[in-house]
Amino acid sequence: MKVRLSEIAHARSGDKGDTVNIGLIAYRPEDYPLLVREVTAERVKAHFGELVKGEVERYELPNLHALNFLLHEALGGGGTLSLRVDAQGKTFGAALLRLEIER
């Protein structure tokens, strides 16, 4: 059965240079292992396609039932160089919540 991430998790994203970070947080602790299993760095990289030119790294924070993703080369240069409307990556978290995973 498929479930959209927005139904089981929330997120916040921000920037550091040309890197976007996305914190993905399970609403319920019991869904955290599902995030760990399904939302891999590779899937996140594929989800964002051409928006993310560099690698995607993933860190686990089991204490917060959360994953932290670093999306490198994702802001068209980042900071003041970026020509994107979302130059600070503020909406990347919401974009990740569109992802559908196998429950």
What is the gyration radius of the CA atoms in the chain, in angstroms?
13
Residue among 36, 40, 76, 101 that touches other proteins (CB under 8 A): 76
| Given 33, 55, 62, 103, the residue binding other proteins (CB under 8 A) | 62
Shortest distance (Å) from residue 6 CB to other proteins: 9
- The yes or no reply on residue 85 touching other proteins (CB under 8 A) is yes
Instruction: By CB under 8 A, tell whether 86 contacts other proteins.
Output: yes
Residue 60 in contact with residue 67, Cβ under 8 Å? yes
State the CB neighbour count (10 A cutoff) for residue 94: 14
Cβ-count burial of 10 within 10 angstroms (0-12 exposed, 13-18 middle, 19+ buried)?
Answer: middle
Q: Are 10 and 67 in contact (CB under 8 A)?
A: no
18 near other proteins, judged by CB under 8 A: yes
User: Applying CB under 8 A, which residues contact other proteins?
Assistant: 10-12, 14-18, 21-25, 27, 47-51, 59-66, 68, 70, 76-77, 79-81, 83-86, 90-91, 93-99
